[in-house]
Chains A and B, each alone.
Chain A
């Protein structure tokens, strides 16, 4: 119950070791730093979705909406309002959180496929707004003519705009805070109530829990971190286009969770790493890269029904 448990901490140590040392070896294995940054950003997105999907048992097929809102939030802030990366991140995350908080009450009564369908519908609304509103969002061409700005702390300035390694560690620091917050929440009594809803909604209701309210909370938390990752994604590319809001992007996040393992905390990060690296590698080799990813997905689901990290399911003890 207490103290340092090596067997429990070993996976965490391994993940942080790999992430912290990434810029040192990624070139040697045929990658590049921006690819590592993309893995971290997409990993955060998948882990955010998994807060709802894996730990509350609610399938959203529209999380790209909040990813995209975060992305447009930061891009439009820097382009139209203030050239400040920090403020942009706050606006992007805040806009996503606000949209989720408002949409939440309309959908938390729904379950299963119905919930998934309505989340897609809301996401498509945002997609079409971004797609059509040319004068503000840049429409199909995306939002350009802005870049991430250096961050001035007063005593020092962080030049994330030039050096990819600096930007990688900037993203990793935000990732660390977000992931630590999610881990804390999941290990709290509140988190256990969410897991209880996943396990048996009727039992949880008859333990006196207002299930819809708890699902709303989980939804807002999940979408807030999703918006944060979307903001980081926009900063990584210095660009946003409507495809970040499109429903297939939502599907990609679900694929990452399933691929890596929804019942495992780090699973979605592993799923994101597999997806991002495969996409990078395959898309330069063939225009039909999507069908190869589909094949990998099918094989993974057949052989690892609980995801790649699902093979490390904790054993029950006597």
Chain B
């Protein structure tokens, strides 16, 4: 049984076929990268997995459970957390509050009129731990909207992790970052992956990051699956070289 199984997933926008018959199986504890040139349908593919868009055809299964008809928020509660290509955080709240909200949600308190006394210390420790892991402790009191791009992204990843997900989907975690920031985020993702044995699917443009992190790579081009394999297999693949480098296949 694959942890995440995607079968022949297809999405039409009118006459445009954004994603065309993509299948993919991700094992538990695997870090899978989805790469492809601009317009390959990577983000659409992500939105189909998380339920932001409805499928035209195909199936998405999480531990053999068909997710058809399950709303995005319910999929999150099933253990599927995600970050976005354009960072989605709470800009007018402090970093600490940004982390506190998902920690309380994960504790099942989102409708609670108060935090039970017995759980206060536990939740506070959890918030501190997440901020420490994400390197956010030094900026805990700053408004999230004032942070650098890299810190905002780290904040968003820690918010997703605060939910104790079983599957983490990262949409271009290093997009628009300089070398130092890219490096820091890649290190953070690798640490999460190794220490928590978390299953991760990520879309990424930066090939150094991809080859550094991914156990396996799926290549999309024009919405169709082009190749799948380990990083070394993908590097050697002539079709992938053609798609990326414009060489003859």
Contact = CB atoms under 8 A, between A and B. Distances in A.
A19 to B, nearest CB: 25
Interface in A180-219: 184-185, 188-190, 192-193, 195-196, 199-200, 202-203, 205-211, 214, 217
Interface stretch (B57-65, B140-148, B201-209, B229-237): B140-148
Interface stretch (B9-17, B22-30, B74-82): B74-82
B143 A316 contact: yes
A192 B104 contact: yes
A188 B101 CA distance: 10
A163 interface: no
A284 to B, nearest CB: 41
Contact of A189 (B93, B110, B124, B142): B110
A206 B104 contact: no
A1 B84 CA distance: 32
Contact of A207 (B71, B115, B163): B163
Interface string B133-168: 000001101110010000000000001000100000
Contacts of A192: 97, 100-101, 104
A205 B82 CA distance: 11
Given A200-B89, A203-B89, A211-B73, A189 B112 contact: yes
Contact of B90 (A185, A200, A206): A200
Contacts of A316: 94, 141-143, 146
Contacts of A202: 84, 88
B102 interface: yes
A206 B93 contact: no
Contacts of A5: none
A99 B137 CA distance: 46
B104 A189 contact: yes
B90 A199 contact: yes
B91 interface: yes
Contacts, number: 91
B18 to A, nearest CB: 20
A196 B88 CA distance: 11
Contacts of B125: none
A76 B94 CA distance: 48
Contact of A199 (B82, B84, B91, B124): B91
Contacts of B91: 199-200
A207 B142 contact: no
Contacts of B112: 188-190
B81 A206 contact: yes
B21 interface: no
B105 A199 contact: no
B88 A190 contact: no
Contacts of B50: 206
Nearest to B105: A207
Contacts of A195: 90, 93
Contacts of A206: 50, 72-73, 76, 81-82, 84, 88
A184 B89 CA distance: 25
A264 to B, nearest CB: 13
Contacts of B81: 206
B1 interface: no
A208 B94 contact: no
B113 A188 contact: yes
B90 A208 contact: no
Given A189-B110, A203-B90, A208 B104 contact: no
Contact of B73 (A1, A199, A205): A205
B53 interface: no
Nearest to A205: B73
B113 A207 contact: no
Contacts of B100: 192
B232 to A, nearest CB: 34
A184 B114 contact: yes
Nearest to A318: B141
A195 B144 CA distance: 14
B142 A318 contact: yes
Given A1-B124, A190-B109, A192-B97, 4 more contacts: A202-B88, A203-B88, A208-B163, A214-B110
What are the 6 A-B residue pairs with the smallest beta carbon separation, nearest first? A317-B141, A208-B76, A199-B90, A189-B109, A203-B88, A189-B104
Interface of A: 1, 184-185, 188-190, 192-193, 195-196, 199-200, 202-203, 205-211, 214, 217, 316-318
12 contacts: A188-B113, A189-B111, A192-B97, A200-B90, A203-B90, A205-B76, A206-B76, A208-B73, A208-B105, A316-B146, A317-B142, A318-B138
